[in-house]
Homo-oligomer: A and B are copies of this chain.
């Protein structure tokens, strides 16, 4: 089986990471590559780490260029995917790496993104209850946001097992690639090296409703989320520190059991041995998720911490994993759980 894949938005960080993974994927042949503001440029100048594609030249994103592929990946700014997606027939697998089709609640979409809601596609986080089945054979995939990936995987077992009160508090640190490749003063190396800083504080970050959607589904009740993202001086990685008050009767053992059960058969989620905590360096460039959980009896809270690579499992790796399911391939094809460290 050879699957021909196009990538719209190949010059950014998400597109570059996707190409890195597709190059290593045994069933994929890389077709059209587009990038509007960089159309006409060599990929070797834009993504110098992708040597096998150095001489490929980017096209403009158009229906003609993207036609004739089995899979089309959309790595476009939020709000732009819906218009492009309309052109593809039901036989083409369309994988949206933007936010356009993630949210079920139209009001949430409009409040946080400010444009009309385009709809909802199967959600590309196979580890969540029900998601894997919905992805198998699907022709449309909404790739989750990077923070919701890390947070949902850290907390859904606690909510799924009825162990946690429906008020989650989350503080996550992200590498700078999560902020994209468009140059802005606060993203300069001079500014971010040696500095930690928060942003989007107080419930205004766009990933908040997506976390609420996932955790509420697991809990079977509305879960409120206090989410504070911070920018960390590293290129990649998310460390999500998530906690919630434990429901009455919860013990360290019941918490451990819920996480053991949730991840027992997951190929990419690794619940660490007790006492060992995740580090983003350990999942650098890999599709693995490292999770650890504990119960702080004095504070009465369950603390679950996850580490992912925001560009791999958090974006492009998650997209490939879901694509594998949609195409009927083994879910792990072309993906690794081995990080590049130190």
A175 cross-chain contacts in B, Cβ below 8 A: 190, 194
Chain A positions near chain B (C-beta within 8 angstroms)? 13, 16, 20, 23-24, 42, 44-45, 47-52, 54, 167, 169, 171, 173, 175-177, 179, 181, 183-185, 187-199, 201-203, 224-226, 228, 230, 232-237, 239, 241, 243, 245, 270, 272-273, 276-286, 288, 290, 292, 294-301, 303, 305, 307, 336-342
- Give CA–CA (A13, B191) in the complex, Å: 11
Taking the nearest CB of chain B, how far is it from the CB of A255, in angstroms? 11
A193 cross-chain contacts in B, Cβ below 8 A: 176, 189, 192-194, 233-235
Which of B226, B234, B290 meets A194, CB within 8 Å? B234
In the bound complex, do residue B190 and residue A49 qualify as a contact, i.e. CB atoms below 8 Å apart?
A: no
In the bound complex, do residue B338 and residue A203 qualify as a contact, i.e. CB atoms below 8 Å apart?
A: no
A230-B226 CB under 8 A given contacts A191-B189, A276-B48: no
- Give CA–CA (A191, B294) in the complex, Å: 24
Which of B181, B297, B338, B340 meets A190, CB within 8 Å? B181
Which of B194, B233, B270, B298 meets A224, CB within 8 Å? B298
In the bound complex, do residue B173 and residue A230 qualify as a contact, i.e. CB atoms below 8 Å apart?
A: yes
Taking the nearest CB of chain B, how far is it from the CB of A66, in angstroms? 24
Known: A48-B282, A232-B233. 8 other contacts (CB 8 A): A49-B338, A167-B300, A188-B342, A190-B342, A197-B279, A228-B241, A232-B232, A235-B342
A224-B189 CB under 8 A given contacts A24-B338, A233-B234: no
Taking the nearest CB of chain B, how far is it from the CB of A273, in angstroms? 7
In the bound complex, do residue A45 and residue B277 qualify as a contact, i.e. CB atoms below 8 Å apart?
A: no
A282 cross-chain contacts in B, Cβ below 8 A: 48-49, 195
In the bound complex, do residue B195 and residue A192 qualify as a contact, i.e. CB atoms below 8 Å apart?
A: no
- Residue of B with least CB distance to A228: B241
Most chain B Cβ neighbours within 10 Å, of A187, A192, A337: A192
- Give CA–CA (A270, B54) in the complex, Å: 10
- Give CA–CA (A290, B197) in the complex, Å: 11
A167 cross-chain contacts in B, Cβ below 8 A: 245, 299-300
In the bound complex, do residue A196 and residue B226 qualify as a contact, i.e. CB atoms below 8 Å apart?
A: no
A273 cross-chain contacts in B, Cβ below 8 A: 42, 44
In the bound complex, do residue B183 and residue A336 qualify as a contact, i.e. CB atoms below 8 Å apart?
A: no
Taking the nearest CB of chain B, how far is it from the CB of A238, in angstroms? 8
In the bound complex, do residue A230 and residue B224 qualify as a contact, i.e. CB atoms below 8 Å apart?
A: no
In the bound complex, do residue B196 and residue A280 qualify as a contact, i.e. CB atoms below 8 Å apart?
A: yes
In the bound complex, do residue A278 and residue B226 qualify as a contact, i.e. CB atoms below 8 Å apart?
A: no
